[in-house]
Amino acid sequence: MPCVGQLLDYKIAGSLLLITYVTTELMYFESEQTSKFEAFDIGMYLSFAILLNPPLFILGLVIFAYFFTLKAIDSSILILALLGFLVPVLVFAQVSYLMDFKFVLDYYKEALLLNYYQFDIKHVFLIPVIIVLALALLNYVRSVNKEAIEIKRVFFLIFLMLISLIVISALFGGDQLVFLSFFGLLLMTIFAKDFANKKPHLNWLKEAILWGYLICMLFVNFYDRIPRIYSLITEVSF
């Protein structure tokens, strides 16, 4: 898991858990087994995630844009999602007002202050992941005509969610890339789709990509500790 240290923050960990649930529900939202009333749950959990981690409102805009596209299929879906989103917001606002939680306003003002991405040398290890991701997306675009309209729409949503997370990381991530962990499920879905389309004799390539991804993430997480680990190894005497 990228950015393990950031998960010690309950706001990051809680919002990551909620967004993971929301993303999973969205992937299967248009399947026959899914009820339209799950839009209410998605909106509610998305609201909790944004309350914990305000910059995620950009991701929320993308998700509601997706629900808006489903308005032609069933107009109640968008309404249910909006109602689910508003319930936690209104309850939280009412409790904050009654208990005079002025520090809440200060927290949200601070959380929404721009903290632009700052390059760090360890971010170089993300370049191979970006290249493989770009190739996977390109392969999907080449074969998109073979997919059903529902799969096309869901995959386009995943792509837009990925773009929104990149924007959030660029505007609020700083030098620590605190939102990097949110990319995990989306990357896994894109890579899984790409691997499924590869021929069996390319299994070695799949394993190489997975091991390469693991190594890159290890370097991103533990790059600062490599000198200390090396010094400990060299100081061991047999």
What is the model's pLDDT at position 54?
A: 93
Residue 234 pLDDT level (bands cut at 50, 70, 90): low
Q: Are 43 and 82 in contact (CB under 8 A)?
A: yes
What is the model's pLDDT at position 22?
A: 95
Average pLDDT, rounded, for the chain: 84
Lowest mean pLDDT of 50-54, 57-61, 87-91, 220-224, name the range. 220-224
Coil, helix or strand at residue 190: helix
Q: What is the mean pLDDT of residues 52-59?
A: 94
Q: What is the mean pLDDT of residues 26-33?
A: 83
* Domain of residue 120, residue span: 4-235
Task: List phi, psi (to 5°) of 103.
Answer: -65, -20
Structurally, the chain folds into a number of domains equal to 1
- Output the six-digit token pair for 90: 């209104």
Burial of 231 (0-12, 13-18, 19+ CB in 10 A): exposed
What is the model's pLDDT at position 40?
A: 95
CA distance 128 to 154: 26
Q: What is the mean pLDDT of residues 35-41?
A: 90
CA distance 155 to 165: 15
pTM score, two decimals? 0.84
Show Cβ contacts of residue 225 under 8 Å, excluding neighbours closer than 6 positions. Answer: none
